[in-house]
A and B are shown apart, each in its own frame.
Chain A
Amino acid sequence: MSSSTSMGAAAPLGGRAIGVRVEPDSGPERGAVDRSPWQIFWREFRKSPVALAGAGILFVLYSSAIFADFLAPWPMPKQDLDFGYHPPTPVHWFADGRFVGPYVRGTELIDLGRSTYRVIPGSRHPIRFFVQGTETYRVLGLVPTRTRLFGVDAPGHVYLFGSDKYGRDTFSRLLYGSRVSLSIGLIGIAISFFIGTLVGGLSGYLGKGVDLVVMRVTELIMSVPALYLILALRASFPSNVPSDRMYLIIVVILAFIGWASLARVVRGMVLSLREFEYVNAARALGAGTLRILFRHIMPNTMSFLIVAATIAVPGYILGEVTLSFLGIGIQEPQASWGNMLTEAQNIRVLKSFPWMLIPGFFIFIVVLAYNFLGDGLADALNPRKVTGGKS
């Protein structure tokens, strides 16, 4: 029923052509097993290895953000000024031709100006697991502990992804930074989603004056190029604020911009859905506006909205990354994937210490994973396939 509208609206998804494969309606398969919508969804979703890979990558990244304290060998602000711009330390497994378990070599600074290091021959610092760190943290904010996954004993250093100007471990900061950069996308989309569906839904259902005003406002927001609007909005907040408040400001800015396009799409879908007979039936039975909208109309837009939201998350992540990269978002010493890249803007740093680009690579992976997931969801939630499923 609603399939035609949902498909029509699926087209603006970044201009992607979503292939419509019509399932053969052959009797035995349909009749024999009664599947819940979730089962149908899962059966379809499982078929796409790319979508599964996207979901897997995101699962790993978000879990490691949650357990960042445990996985990171260093606390976030810890510096070691004697080891600035230290290259990534290779992990060795063999010594003198036999297996000795993972260890790193010791290094010493030979040129302070150029930050060049020399491997101390014969030195060996074994990587130990479940070491006791210097700082106490709480697992999931509850259990206090000092145990960290791995580390090396005192004179040795393990920099899996190298170190930055202050000798801070890039690998550790990447983990702590992911907490900011990855969560901001989810919170941002959640707020936009809420405002967008509410406003867009009401606008489409009520029509007339409400619709007119809402549509003019969304047009206004969408006619200012996003980054210019982000900067202008940023200018109306104070420039130096603590990281936790900055986080909120960024979320507010991104949500302010993001709800508009979502509202327009929802409005368009509601506009056609409200003409269906079941809506008339609900109205005849005395259901109120909000009940009709959220019990009867909105569920039909959900499969589309889930896909749209998934594909929109990278935009929010990139919004934070961009602001922090430009130095007007999350501030040091709090790590974010954006502000970790700021140093790479200096071409001398970039040329000599290319590992400063590693956070950028992870941003790329996250965006890719969300796009994979979004494509997979679009296929699996394709309403032509999920026939007979109740929402």
Chain B
Amino acid sequence: MRTYLLRRIFTLIPLLLGVTFLAFLLIYLAPGDFLSQMAENPQISAETIEAMRTKFGLDQPWYVQYGLWLKNVFFHLDFGESFAFRQPVFHVIAPRLGNTLILALSAAVVAWGLAIPLGILSAVKQYSWRDKTASFLAFLGLSIPEIFFALLMMYMAAKTGWFPVGGMRSLDHDQLQWGAQIGDILHHLVLPAIVLGTVPMAGRMRQMRANLLDVLRLDYVTTARAKGLDENVVIWKHAVRNAINPLITLFGFTLATLLSGSFIVEIVMNWPGLGSLTLEALLKQDLYLVMGSVVIAATMLVLGNLIADVLLALADPRIKYD
């Protein structure tokens, strides 16, 4: 296991190097010199701009620029300055990344919390009206575009007043008690987590149903029934445990995709995460911030997949990586 892990981490290095190169290439290709845009801002002195020009080597050829950028990223976690926030890119990204993680994790909890019981119900009561309803809803859930769903939820929130209309904190959040602050964030979290969790929920439900149906056809289930075991014991103790296995692994993958998939939800529902930050950065031509976010997002995705693979090995004793 350890050698496998080391080997995987080792192969991540060229991959992430590639991502940084791609990101850098895109900065380089972007039209206009962003420092010239800064120069138009009277608040930024000519010396600062000159200092940045030297720091990022903008007067040098592109490969030197890339080398400098890479050096700063690797040794100092310095993705450059955000022009709009007047702060190092990493400082701007870190809290936003935390918010995105909160959202992605909640969505995953919503998805799994609903998908597994619904999938089991569907499989056990195959072809019943409950199964048909659940399967139909799952199909709708897989097809509903996030933009539309998020807007629909915002409309619902605005009309009923049951949930806050977007955002992560109320205006009086800072005056609240510690417990009430968490409650406030959770209240804001409900709708975005539902919107973000729907697609994986629908997908996992169908999968849980299919897995369990497969397992229920196996001989050992027939044996268990023939022994005269209670149907509940057969399903919960014998069948579900095996059927649920692949879904545990997928938790890691889903978390990784949710991190990037939360983009739309963050923007429509004003969730202050990495996605909405990236869009802001793009609109403000804050290019180092855009590229910093891209690299961080890619890192999260790749690490998520790695964790998923490790989970798979831990959950399934038949899988050996060494």
Contact residues of A with B, CB < 8 Å? 14-17, 216, 219-220, 223-229, 231-239, 314, 318, 321-322, 325-328, 338, 341, 344-345, 347, 350-351, 354, 357, 360-361, 363-364, 367-368, 371
Q: How far is the CB of B296 from chain A (nearest CB, A)?
A: 9
- In the complex, are the beta carbons of A232 and B290 less than 8 A apart? yes
- In the complex, are the beta carbons of A229 and B158 less than 8 A apart? no
Type the 1/0 row for B278-289, where 1 means its CB is closer than 8 Å to any CB of A: 110011010100
Q: Which residue of B lies closest to A18 (CB)?
A: B210
Spot the interface stretch: B71-79, B82-90, B180-188, B260-268. Answer: B260-268
Interface of B is mostly: helix
Contact residues of B with A, CB < 8 Å? 14-15, 18-19, 22-23, 26-27, 29-31, 139-140, 142-145, 147-148, 151-152, 154-155, 158-159, 165-166, 203, 206-207, 210, 257, 259-261, 263-264, 267-268, 275, 278-279, 282-283, 285, 287, 290-291, 293-294, 297-298, 300-302
- In the complex, are the beta carbons of A236 and B152 less than 8 A apart? no
- In the complex, are the beta carbons of A371 and B22 less than 8 A apart? no
- In the complex, are the beta carbons of B263 and A227 less than 8 A apart? yes
Alpha-carbon separation in the docked complex, A17 to B154 (Å) = 33
Interface of A is mostly: helix
- In the complex, are the beta carbons of A351 and B155 less than 8 A apart? yes
Q: With A363-B147, A367-B145 in contact, is A357–B155 under 8 Å at CB?
A: yes
26 contacts between A and B (CB under 8 A): A17-B207, A17-B210, A220-B19, A220-B22, A224-B22, A224-B298, A224-B301, A226-B260, A227-B275, A228-B293, A231-B279, A232-B23, A232-B290, A232-B291, A236-B31, A314-B143, A325-B147, A341-B147, A341-B151, A347-B154, A347-B158, A364-B143, A364-B145, A368-B143, A371-B139, A371-B142
Q: Which residue of A lies closest to B166 (CB)?
A: A347
Q: How far is the CB of B79 from chain A (nearest CB, A)?
A: 13
- In the complex, are the beta carbons of B151 and A225 less than 8 A apart? no
- In the complex, are the beta carbons of A219 and B207 less than 8 A apart? no
Beyond the given pairs A236-B27, A236-B29, A347-B158, 19 more chain A to chain B contacts, judged by CB atoms under 8 angstroms and listed by A's residue number, are A17-B206, A224-B298, A224-B301, A225-B260, A227-B264, A231-B278, A236-B26, A325-B147, A327-B283, A341-B151, A347-B166, A351-B159, A357-B152, A357-B155, A363-B148, A364-B145, A367-B145, A368-B139, A368-B143
Query: A residues within 8 A CB of B26?
Result: 232-233, 235-236
- In the complex, are the beta carbons of B297 and A228 less than 8 A apart? yes
Max chain A Cβ within 10 angstroms of own Cβ: one of B15, B27, B148: B148
